[in-house]
């Protein structure tokens, strides 16, 4: 994996997420830390904002290693959006190397944070977007930040945000209806790492994973053994890979428990445009469809 020394020009440039719209001289140049956030910014900004994602599609926002081109994008940005809550641990290093002295917009401000129970050290889950209601908060924060930097287009930002919030509320309602078809004692899912806490809290599911909140952490042998025992006791029969994480640990757990593969979830990165999760709403529907299908089979 390329280290931060890439910023000094010692390696090639990472591919950047394709632009959402062709930039024009009057457009706001926005940078978002990762693809899920970039998609929401693009929906609110519309034609008045050109959005670039630093972490590319299928990229891991925990272990991202910036490139010289990322530093250039940051220097040229009119506004920068981050999720915050400990997700983008690499950003301060990138900002220092790029000479960026601005203040990023933290879109998760105002969200009620979730701390997974039973951990040795209390740590808030940074994966806030896996509850749709949190992305409604994102949307309103993005709207206000864009109005502040481009007041001439305020009406457009308000209208776009309102339209997107309506779509998000429909999505939230649909997910709740799908999950409600599964008995409460069958709502258990095995994934690669602990990225779905907000989904579980919002929609009444229990998620189990060998890795913690960050893919940078490593599960101990004791943690894995305890998870295997828990899976056997609860009867989980399906496991899921994630598009941006190493599958080996969850596959090890699956072999020990005879769990079957259920497909690939998109926990923290969109797919490329031609994939199954090219935008946030499609991503959430894709994940819900796979989970519900697996839980129905387990009944």
Averaged confidence pLDDT in the chain: 82
Query: Strand, coil or helix: what is 59?
Result: coil
Contact present, 194 and 116 (Cβ < 8 Å): yes
In the predicted structure, residue 5 carries a pLDDT above the cut 60: no
Q: Which of 44, 64, 92 is nearest to 53 (CA)?
A: 64
pLDDT in tens, 76-116: 999 999 999 999 999 999 999 999 999 999 999 999 998 87
Q: Is it the case that residue 199 has pLDDT exceeding 50?
A: yes
pTM for this model (two decimals): 0.82
| pLDDT value of residue 207 | 81
Q: What percent of the chain has a predicted confidence (pLDDT) above 70?
A: 72
Give the range with max mean pLDDT: 114-118, 120-124, 233-237, 253-257: 114-118
| Statement: residue 297 has pLDDT above 90 | no
Chain segment 211-228, per-residue pLDDT in tens: 444 444 555 566 566 666
- Identify the pLDDT of residue 277: 96
Q: Which residue has the higher pLDDT, 183 or 214?
A: 183
Give the residue-averaged pLDDT of 118-138: 85
- On the question of pLDDT at 122 being above 70, the answer is no
84: left (phi over 0), alpha (psi -120 to 50) or beta: left
**What confidence category does residue 262 fall into, taking pLDDT thresholds of 50, 70 and 90?**
confident
pLDDT of residue 223: 59
Q: How far apart are CA 280 and CA 234, in angstroms?
A: 31
> What pLDDT, on a 0 to 100 scale, did the predictor assign at position 188?
82
């Amino acid at each position: 994996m390329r280290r931060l020394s890439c910023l000094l020009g010692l390696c090639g440039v990472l591919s950047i997420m394709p632009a959402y719209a062709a930039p024009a001289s009057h457009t706001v140049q926005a940078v978002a830390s990762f693809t899920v956030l970039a998609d929401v910014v693009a929906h609110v900004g519309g034609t008045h904002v050109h959005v670039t994602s630093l972490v590319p599609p299928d990229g891991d926002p925990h272990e991202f290693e910036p490139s010289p081109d990322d530093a250039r994008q940051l220097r040229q940005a009119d506004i920068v959006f981050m999720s915050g809550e400990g997700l983008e641990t690499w950003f301060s290093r990138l900002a220092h190397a790029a000479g960026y002295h601005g203040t990023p917009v933290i879109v998760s401000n105002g969200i009620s944070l979730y701390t997974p129970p039973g951990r040795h050290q209390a740590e808030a889950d940074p994966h806030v977007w896996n509850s749709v209601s949190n992305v409604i908060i994102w949307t309103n924060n993005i709207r206000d930040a864009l109005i502040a930097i481009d007041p001439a287009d305020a009406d457009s930002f308000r209208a776009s945000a309102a339209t997107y919030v309506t779509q998000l509320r429909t999505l939230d309602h649909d997910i709740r209806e799908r999950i409600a078809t599964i008995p409460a004692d069958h709502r258990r899912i095995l994934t690669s790492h602990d990225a779905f806490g907000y989904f579980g809290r919002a929609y009444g599911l229990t998620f189990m994973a060998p890795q913690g909140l960050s893919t940078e952490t490593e599960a101990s042998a004791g943690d894995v053994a305890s998870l295997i025992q828990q899976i056997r006791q609860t009867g989980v029969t399906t496991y899921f890979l994630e598009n941006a994480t190493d599958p080996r640990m969850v596959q090890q757990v699956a072999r020990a428990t005879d769990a079957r593969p259920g497909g690939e979830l998109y926990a923290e990165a969109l797919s490329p445009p031609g994939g199954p999760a090219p935008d946030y709403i499609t991503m959430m529907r894709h994940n819900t469809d796979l989970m519900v299908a697996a839980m129905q089979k387990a009944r």
